[in-house]
Amino acid sequence: MPEPRDSNLTHLELEAAIAQLQSVYWARVDDVDPLPPEELFTDDSVFELGSLILTGRAALAAFFDQRRQDNAAQGRTTRHLSANLRIRPIDAERVEVFSTVLMLSGNGEWPIPSVLPSIGDFSDVCVRGTDGSWRFERRKASSVFAAPNAASFAKSASGE
């Protein structure tokens, strides 16, 4: 993989930084890390989740807050496993990232009986800020396999 142009990051440092961003994001979405996931996005970010399109950090904050409340009320637990991370430099401060995510969810006390997982492909654009940290500028999730209990927006394509 070519190095990003004019970057002080080595190939391994770039991979580690993007893998860490992805890992922290999923920990926050799954409420393993209590900090809000929207902090990992740029102010003007766009997030497409199937037919749901969220624009801006405020819209993301409202979505994740409602998701957290709904999960707590329903006793719902989720776990996301991200794999097959592929990074393509766009320029010194921006990369395109592709990954495959397996998502399990269920309700009740642990251990929760296993159900069919959902699997999605993610296409992201990540940007490095002036502080050196990476954030999502754009995320697009496309469901490949949707479990019966998947959210309705995840069961339909963008724009349908």
Q: What are the tens digits of pLDDT across the range 106-150? A: 999 999 998 899 999 999 999 999 999 999 999 999 999 999 888
Q: Position of tokens 């409340």?
A: 69
CA distance 58 to 34: 18
Angle in degrees, CA 22, 17, 59, rounded to 5? 45
Strands 41-49 and 134-145: parallel
**For the whole model, what pTM was predicted?**
0.91
Residue 24's φ and ψ, nearest 5 degrees, are -65, -40
Q: Output the CA torsion 74→118→31→130 (10° steps).
A: -140
